[in-house]
């Protein structure tokens, strides 16, 4: 599977630790865009990632511009609550990039509206609920993309 996960300015070390574990078990590449709300040596991040840190491919980018330069012309799918298109309506393909915002505010409009973002999708949930946990959202999305690809490599 060649699908990447991006956390744009994540704030909670446990979520990023869980995403490291997710990247390790799915083969996804995890990108973190600074500033991070924690130090990468944080004990909560290490504990959540358990012993998967050495099995995951993680890259930290100093800025969104650095991320775009690294990714090149790949299709970027932004996950946001500010759209009606369901993530389940997308035909995921090899090379896709799944972009998520920070825990407290999600993706800023400036990121969702960036020319590098090709699609904006949402994960359905009951009305009057603010959001899902960041690591859970990434898990739902990567497993749907991987399922559509027949769990290649599993």
The set of residues, in sequence order, having a beta carbon less than 8 Å from that of 17 and lying 6+ positions away, is 44, 45, 46, 47, 48, 49
Tokens of 88: 């389940």
The set of residues, in sequence order, having a beta carbon less than 8 Å from that of 4 and lying 6+ positions away, is 28, 29, 30, 31, 71, 74, 96, 97, 98
Q: Is 17 annotated as a binding residue?
A: no
Q: Is 12 annotated as a binding residue?
A: no
CB contact burial 84-123 (16+ within 10 A = b; e otherwise): eeebeebebeeebbbbbbbbeebbeeebbeeebbebbbbb
Q: Is 153 annotated as a binding residue?
A: no
Binding site, annotated residues: 101, 123, 131
Binding site, annotated residues for S-adenosyl-L-methionine: 101, 123, 131
């Amino acid at each position: 599977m060649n699908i990447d996960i991006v956390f744009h300015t994540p704030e909670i070390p446990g979520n990023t630790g869980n995403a490291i574990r997710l990247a390790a078990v799915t083969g996804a590449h995890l990108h973190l865009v600074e500033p991070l709300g924690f130090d990468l040596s944080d004990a909560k991040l290490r504990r959540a990632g358990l012993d998967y840190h050495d099995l995951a491919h993680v890259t930290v980018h100093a800025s969104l511009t650095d991320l775009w330069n690294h990714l090149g012309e790949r299709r970027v799918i932004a996950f946001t609550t500010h759209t009606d298109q369901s993530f389940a309506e997308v035909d995921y393909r090899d090379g896709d990039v799944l972009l998520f915002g920070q825990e407290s505010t999600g993706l800023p409009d400036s990121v969702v509206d960036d020319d590098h973002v090709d699609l904006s999708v949402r994960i359905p949930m009951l009305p009057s609920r603010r959001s899902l946990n960041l690591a859970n959202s990434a898990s739902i999305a990567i497993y749907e993309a991987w399922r559509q690809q027949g769990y290649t490599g599993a």
